[in-house]
Amino acid sequence: MTVTIRVPAALAAHSGGRREVLVTAAAPTTVAGLLDRLAAELPALERRIRDERGSIRRHVNLYVDGEDIRSLSGTETAVPENADVTVMAAISGG
């Protein structure tokens, strides 16, 4: 199955400049499984999304078809065929 991951401009440097990344994963899959596939294809991007323990970084939000995974099943949220997964990264400064 193929899933589109939408990457924010702030992280596009880690995806070869692409704002959309197509990831192929075995069906069925979860957010965790999808991120494992992303790690194999674009490890620098995946490291910006998950920490060394495999947890989603605090400043990153993930949405599956517009639904925040924190209000679903977290990284165990099912990802359907042709889903859109959006990565949102908080940016701070002063």
Report the distance separating Cα 7 and Cα 85, nearest Å.
9
What average pLDDT does the structure give for the chain? 95
Q: What is the pLDDT of residue 90?
A: 85
CATH topology of domain 2-89: Ubiquitin-like (UB roll) (3.10.20)
Q: What is the pLDDT of residue 85?
A: 98
64 exposure class (CB count in 10 Å sphere: 0-12, 13-18, 19+): buried
The token pair that represents 45 in the structure block:
């991007």
β partners of residue 67? 64
Query: Domain coordinates of the chain in residue numbers?
Result: 2-89
3 touches 85 (CB < 8 A): yes
Does the pLDDT at position 92 exceed 90? no
Element (H, E) at 30: strand 29-30
Does the pLDDT at position 63 exceed 90? yes
Q: What is the pLDDT of residue 33?
A: 97
Report the distance separating Cα 29 and Cα 81, nearest Å.
9
pLDDT tens sequence across 26-57: 999 999 999 999 999 999 999 999 999 999 99
